[in-house]
Chain A
């Protein structure tokens, strides 16, 4: 491994300025008939600072997952520009993007049996130098193994090394996915619903890992979540989407309010303060107090 790559791996982030710059990005899925479809993302502009955790919230179909796919370069930004570390996504190769951005997907659909160690080591793929004569055998260098090992320690999956990923529980599998992403030694981590389908203990576990990575590696994190309380509790800033457009962006205090939630989600909720941190806490109204809504239905 070359030295400057090793350095960025150890010292985390070395970009100056914002890690992610989104300039007036619009996107819509193509239709086979060539008909005009609604914009999935509508003139979005925002910056994510290096070492920041940004939560993306919004109702179903508001473009959260699509935004993540545009940031990872999987979907092309139809209009506008996405810059990572100052350089436009379109100007980077796929491997180049993969060395900068790692994605933890929402669902893990694995057809074939891979072990945990094999899965985590796949994260080293963008760092490999192709040697045509070896045909990929023995391409894992000592630093690849060390990096994967480190990632597995950080996510506490070392004891699962030779288990098959398909045999793991939801919480274990999610930690393995984060370990694979960390093995990429990225500067930016994108997560799609990282705590969906996890129980309370595993939700806290995943969130603490993310918080620690931000502090220790200076990792920039963008996470999509349906859980407003989780976003409020663990994110530095929250981006609220409504129909593909930016509705609000700011600290949890600035974004999560009764009016904003009514405008975006179309329902009334109760908001008080978290007893420890004081961040906004969202509670569903009781059945009795929603009588007036039910009367209108």
Chain B
């Protein structure tokens, strides 16, 4: 890898290996610090030392040690640690989906929740639950695939709307997303209304966006899945840069736009489907985080994508900690926390920063 040697390469003008390593390294360290802090808070707060010993026990996985664990360590290992890690990866995935959608639709306010892609996934999952399809098949979770199918359909519909007029103004696309969201939500509401009350209550709680502590095999599969999709998105980061210039320019710069667009649709739908099936509809992370990160580090997706994923992870880990503790011992859905922080920010961008957008 070469570093910049040209005389015009002043700091920040182009992405260098140095800058990439510095930013991503810094954010990784910050992520670890945030996770450790988040682990301490909860219905019972735990000090750093207990967090550390619990993690050590877990890493060594010694059966003898497990017998001597105290209550707080058991809370740590079996509930809080998997939940916080899950929250981090859900946030990372949502932010990555947001970045990708914003580049594909050339719209800085695009977000899987706002555009109805999350609702599409949720409808897919709700339909699967309605027809009594089990959550696993041959040890593999299958609900994410229904989420994928629903999300992909919603995404293609939104893209068709954005494409048919050549250039759809930002506000019209958002309006189309809101309407699609309303229609899909109506279907979901219909499904919950014809279910038995005890099943529909669980479905409603999930729809509002909430994280629960998964068991370790499920957590492992989820983390691996999100990581794989993130790496595949990273491979298309340079093409994302060109796609933000419009399809015609991207083509003239040598991007095979048709194939790459299809591939990106599939990847975003895969990610949204998996995230919605584990955590319901958590809004605004995919819009707020990339926007804030872009202001600081610029628009090159090779850096923007992984940086947004890390910041999104931290954001949701903190939001979930607030959701767990603010009404302790009761919990509120994390979707409420993200909507209450992200919603006003969205309005601010829409109303006061209009001039900065096309």
B108 is an interface residue with CB less than 8 A from chain A = yes
B13 in contact (CB, < 8 A): yes
Question: A138-B2, A140-B2 are contacts. A161–B252 as well, Cβ < 8 Å?
Answer: no
Q: B236-253, CB under 8 A of A: which get 1 and which 0? A: 011001101110110111
Q: Min CB distance, A256 to chain B, in Å?
A: 30
Q: Is B261's CB within 8 Å of the partner chain A?
A: no
- Cβ of B72 within 8 Å of any chain A Cβ, yes or no, is no
Kindly report which residue of chain B lies nearest to residue A142, judged by CB atoms.
B2
Given A74-B248, A110-B245: A116 in contact with B254 (beta carbons within 8 A): no
B243-269 CB mask vs A (1 if < 8 Å, else 0) is 011101101111111000000000000
Complex A-B: 18 CB contacts under 8 Å? A72-B252, A94-B251, A94-B255, A96-B254, A97-B254, A103-B249, A109-B358, A111-B357, A112-B102, A113-B298, A113-B299, A114-B244, A115-B12, A117-B14, A118-B15, A135-B302, A138-B20, A142-B5
Having A137-B15, A138-B2, one finds 6 other A-B pairs with CB under 8 Å, namely A94-B255, A109-B358, A111-B357, A118-B15, A138-B3, A161-B13
Contact assessment for B8 and A110 in the assembled complex, using a CB-CB cutoff below 8 Å: no
Inter-chain contact B108/A115, CB cutoff 8 Å = no
Chain A residues within 8 Å of B256, by CB: 93-95
Question: Does the CB pair B2–A114 fall under 8 Å?
Answer: no
Taking beta carbons and an 8 Å cutoff, which residues of A are in contact with B?
Answer: 69, 72-74, 93-99, 101-103, 105, 109-118, 121-123, 125-126, 128, 132, 134-142, 145-146, 148-149, 152, 158, 161-162, 184
Given the known A-B contacts A94-B254, A102-B252, are A112 and B8 also in contact in the complex, defined by CB atoms under 8 Å? no
**Chain A CB within 8 A of B9 CB:** yes
Residues of A within 8 A of B299 (CB): 112-114, 118
What range describes how many residues of B lie at the interface?
Answer: 35 or more
The verdict on B1 contacting chain A, using a C-beta distance below 8 Å, is: yes
Residue of B nearest to A144 (CB): B2
**Complex: how many Å from CA A244 to CA B50?**
78
A149 and B108 alpha carbons, distance in the complex (Å) = 30
Contact B17 A158 (CB under 8 A): no
When distances are taken between beta carbons in the complex, the residues of chain A under 8 Å from B13 are 115-118, 161-162
Asked whether any CB of chain A lies closer than 8 Å to the CB of B198, the reply is: no
Separation of A125 and B7 alpha carbons in the complex (Å)? 21
Q: A111-B244, A125-B254, A126-B254 are in contact. Are A134 and B1 (CB under 8 A)?
A: yes
Q: Are A74 and B245 in contact (CB under 8 A)?
A: no
